Amino acid sequence: MKLQYAAISLRGTHHEANEDRALVGMRSLPPESDAVVCGEDEASRAFIVFDGVGGHGGGAQAAGAALAGFSLACAQAGLQPGNAMRTPPSAQQQGKPMEESESTPHADRRLSPEDECGYANARESRAFASGKCDPAAPAEEERASEQETEWLGGLACALRAANDIVLEARHRGERIGFCAAAGVAFDEQGRAHTFHSGDVRAYRYRAPYAMRLTHDHSLAEQWRDEHPGHPVPDDIAHTITRSLGHPIPSAHINDRAWPFDLANPMPIANGDIYAVCSDGIWEYIEEEDLEQALDGVASPAGLADALSAIAIEARERGSYDDATIIAVRVAEQCDE
């Protein structure tokens, strides 16, 4: 499989530092560069945006820790072409040091008190936090190969490592916040797996249409579901109901209560473009804008130009938050 990618992350206009982090082809995007990066290779399989929730302090630290936990777990699990992912060690075993807290908190991002007991809705996810596939999954998934099962289990464990490393830091009393996250990973069967926690979003562009793939874990999303066509009240506009590092009762630590939704895999096609972005982008950019920007793109440089245009347009429409977007184009599918 050959993937082309590009990414850009801009510091918010009212922020001292960028609290977003991005994993681009198993490499970390420098958060303070404000530059677009792009490339093409056959080894990159995971692309994620982590959006630090700094209203509790240490949003940048939480996002950086989650990125470190996930990327190290993936490397140790063998997220490489032709290799089945192995179950990685826990975040505690990794012993990865946290980065220094880099910024002032977002005053308008917070967790809802209704979810203080944790991730109840995560029980509907199709994967256990332990990395096992849900036994209630459809029969065709139960017939998946051993390699596929190991790959999914490894992905689930890497996601859990991203959460655990933040949780464990909080349990040690470190000054660290929370973070939302979303991403896409590609398996050897030529399928895309999307996952998310909080209000980072994922989209797929298959010409000529862009389609949103995630459903926000937020009070604003609940309001839109229950009151279609009505504006979201300001007091709940930025309240997320799930995140990485949010404390959950100890009785649920090894249960299925975990922060991510892991979607059913989707077959990919040549030319598909998957985009992942923080709310500094999607609050100001519609699906139609993605369609216009990505139409005809067929190279890493084209992706870079498209993302630069999207980020600039978001700024011109009033975005003041950190703004991060990754785009991944399927240039060549896996061999049959």
Total Cβ atoms within 10 A of residue 23 = 26
Mean pLDDT value of segment 265-273: 95
- pTM strictly above 0.85: no
Give the pLDDT of residue 301. 96
For the chain, the structural domain boundaries read 2-332
Average pLDDT, the chain: 78
Domain 2-332 has CATH 3.60.40.10: yes
Q: What is the pLDDT of residues 148-202, one digit of tens each?
A: 777 778 888 888 899 999 988 888 888 888 999 999 999 888 899 999 999 999 9
What ranges make up the beta strands (E) of the chain? 2-10, 20-24, 27-28, 37-41, 46-53, 110-111, 178-186, 191-197, 201-206, 209-212, 239-240, 261-262, 266-267, 273-277, 323-332
Whose tokens are 């880099």? That residue is: 102
40's CB contacts (< 8 A; 6+ apart) are 2, 3, 4, 5, 300, 331
DSSP single-letter state for residue 244: B
Asked whether residue 225 carries a pLDDT value surpassing 70, the answer given is yes
Predicted local distance difference test score (pLDDT) of residue 92: 35
Quick one: residue 190, left, alpha or beta (phi over 0 = left, psi -120 to 50 = alpha)? Answer: left
Q: What is the pLDDT of residue 30?
A: 83
- Tell me the mean pLDDT in the region 197-222: 96
pLDDT tens figures, 61-112: 999 999 999 988 877 766 543 333 333 333 333 333 333 333 323 334 443 3
